[in-house]
Structure 1
Amino acid sequence: MISVKKFTFNPFMENTYVLFDETKECVIIDPGCFSVEEEEELSNFIDETQLNPVMLWHTHSHLDHVFGSSFVANKYNIDLWIYKDDLQTLNAFNMVCKMYGIPVKNSPPNKCKFFNLSEGISFGKSKIDIRFVPGHAPGHVVFISENSNFVINGDCLFDGSIGRTDLPGGNHQQLLESIRKELFSLDDKMVVYCGHGPETTIGKEKYSNPFLVKQ
Structure 2
Amino acid sequence: MPLSVQSFVVSPFAENTYVLSSQGEAAIVDPGTASRAERQAVEAYVEAAGLAVRHLLLTHAHIDHVFGCHHFAERYGKAAEHGGWQLHPADAPLLENAVVQGEMFGVRVDPPPPPAHDLAAGDEIALGDVTLRVLHVPGHSPGSVAFYSEADSILVGGDVLFQGSIGRTDLWQGSLDVLLASIRDEVLTLPDATVVYSGHGPKTTVGAERRTNPFLRDL
Stretches of 4+ aligned residues off by more than 2 angstroms: 116-119
Distance 2:113 2:122 in 1: 25
Distance 1:159 1:55 in 2: 27
Q: 8 Å contact 1:115–1:121 — kept in the other structure?
A: no
- Structure 1: which 5+ runs fail to align? none
C-alpha RMSD of matched pairs (Å): 1.2
Alignment partner, residue 93 of structure 1: 98
> Aligned to 2:177, which of 166, 173, 180?
173
Q: 8 Å contact 2:61–2:94 — kept in the other structure?
A: yes
Residue identity over aligned pairs, in percent, reads 40
Q: Which amino acid aligns with 1:90?
A: L
Q: After superposition, what is the alpha-carbon deviation per residue over 1:92-122, rounded to whole angstroms, capped at 9, x for unaligned? A: 2111111112123x11112420124233211
Distance 1:134 1:66 in 2: 18
> Aligned to 2:139, which of 120, 129, 135?
135
Q: TM-score normalized by structure 1?
A: 0.96
Alignment partner, residue 82 of structure 1: 87
SS at match of 2:216: coil
Q: TM-score normalized by structure 2?
A: 0.94
Distance 1:32 1:119 in 2: 24
Alignment partner, residue 41 of structure 1: 41
Q: 8 Å contact 2:15–2:65 — kept in the other structure?
A: yes
Q: Which amino acid aligns with 1:195?
A: G
Structure 2 matches for 1:50-199, cutoff 5 A? 50-77=50-77, 78=80, 79-104=84-109, 106-199=110-203
Distance 1:187 1:181 in 2: 13
